[in-house]
Amino acid sequence: MKKINLISRILGIAVLTVVLLSLNSNAQEKKIVFETDMLSLKLNEETKISAKVVDADGNTTQDSLVFFTRNRRSLTVTPDGYVKAIKSGKFSIIARSLTANRDDRVSATLAVDVAYPPVQKITFSDTPKNFYNTTTISLQTQVVDEAGVTRDNVDVKLTSSNPDVASIDAFGNLKAHKKGDFTITAKAENKTATWKSKVLDNPIASMEISHNYDGKTIRTGDVITFKAMAKNSKGDAIGDAPIKYTYIAEPDDNLGQCASAQIAQSGKFVASDPGLFTVIATSGDRSTSATVKAVPRNVQRPLTLVGKGIVSHTRTSDLWVWEGVDGRDYAVTGTWGGNGE
């Protein structure tokens, strides 16, 4: 009798396993089909999308669908499929079937392309009053479309009417070669803008450089402010002389320079690795430099073990430790799959 009961249990488990596998297989065979492969919209355009769930034979099922997007600042999508384009760009809409069992749900993604409005105008910004021979400046343009949005993804073509006097490259670097007049033309789509200027004699006779850590120990991570000044033959400062900063690194290790430091065109410099660094300031055919030494920061603090705790009821992989506003130390452990526990 016991043997018969055991056989019955085994058969029951086998049948249940087959049924579950069959149900899971049916769920995997289902898929969502959108009425279009891609949704193309204009800015502020509204429409309704539709999709259906089909089985392996292509037959429509009775499964209900819900629509949503993770690009909620760019698209509005209602659960029943009404869509409005708020921003231009490429986005996506997700359709998901509604079932009691999460494992039976299927989902699909629809690509959405919201067209950018045409360019309305293009302007030059921060153009210099004086442009000195042998110097180089970065010429900036601003593009605004018909929706009033400032765009940074529009190709702007820059040309010079007199490249022997002043030439410009595709990145907006304008270089003066000799005295004379010139006009720079910027074109974006079918809109153009022009800037007329002239190259003047270069009054720069010398340059000086200083920094705010003179006499102080410079550690890796400290932000040093370098200040370069161009002067004329009388020693007077030329405040509108364009100055470019760069550096040469001699790190203490032999692993290669890599990103051992960074410098901004404002003169802000920070060393990531210890070593010698020569900061160079250039204006036209004049330059000056200063060398500094960065030592290891050596940030260390002793740790005291105050106890142990085992987290065994949920997944954990990360550890955050900080000092609270009350002066006490706190620690939290967890992971994305920890369910907030």
Q: Which residues pair with 222 in a beta bridge?
A: none
301: helix, strand or coil: coil
In whole angstroms, give the CA distance from residue 243 to residue 189. Answer: 32
Residues 189 and 211 in one domain: no
Query: pLDDT tens digit string along 262-307?
Result: 999 999 999 999 999 999 999 999 999 999 999 999 888 787 887 7
**Burial annotation 117-140 (CB, 10 A radius, 16+ → b, else e):** bebbebebeeeeeebbbebbbebe
Q: 19 pLDDT exceeds 50?
A: no
Residue 27 main-chain phi, psi, to 5 deg? -65, -40
Contact 167, 174 (CB under 8 A): yes
Residue 313 CB contacts under 8 Å (≥ 6 apart), including other chains: 341
| Residue of 97, 15, 82, 2 lying closest to 49 (CA atoms) | 82
In a domain, 9, yes or no: no
In a domain, 56, yes or no: yes
What CATH number is attached to the domain comprising 124?
2.60.40.1080
Q: 3 pLDDT exceeds 60?
A: no
- Amino acid (one-letter) located at 319: L
Sign of CA dihedral 304, 305, 311, 312: positive
Residue 240 main-chain phi, psi, to 5 deg? -100, 15
Number of structural domains found in the chain: 3
Mean pLDDT of the chain: 89
| 310 vs 2, higher pLDDT | 310
Residues 135 and 188 in one domain: yes
| Residue of 150, 181, 142 lying closest to 165 (CA atoms) | 181
Query: pLDDT tens digit string along 177-225?
Result: 999 999 999 999 999 999 999 999 999 999 999 999 999 999 999 999 9
Residues 79 and 55 in one domain: yes
Query: pLDDT tens digit string along 222-251?
Result: 999 999 999 999 999 999 999 999 999 888
In whole angstroms, give the CA distance from residue 117 to residue 83. Answer: 19
| Residue of 75, 89, 68 lying closest to 46 (CA atoms) | 75
pLDDT number for residue 88 = 95
Query: pLDDT tens digit string along 102-123?
Result: 788 899 999 999 999 999 999 9
Place of tokens 């760019």: 74
In a domain, 322, yes or no: no
In a domain, 328, yes or no: no
Domain span at 150: 119-200
Residues 220 and 235 in one domain: yes
How is residue 30 written in tokens? 């289902």
Residue 210 main-chain phi, psi, to 5 deg? -145, 170
In a domain, 19, yes or no: no
Query: pLDDT tens digit string along 158-177?
Result: 999 999 999 999 999 999 99
In whole angstroms, give the CA distance from residue 153 to residue 315. Answer: 43
Q: Which residues pair with 226 in a beta bridge?
A: 211
In a domain, 302, yes or no: no
Over range 144-152, report the average pLDDT. Answer: 94
Over range 121-132, report the average pLDDT. Answer: 96
Residues 225 and 247 in one domain: yes
Q: Which of 146, 170, 200 is the last residue of a domain?
A: 200
Q: Is the pTM of the predicted complex or chain greater than 0.75? A: no
Sign of CA dihedral 215, 216, 218, 224: negative
| 295 vs 312, higher pLDDT | 295
DSSP 207-226: EEEEETTTTS-EETT-EEEE
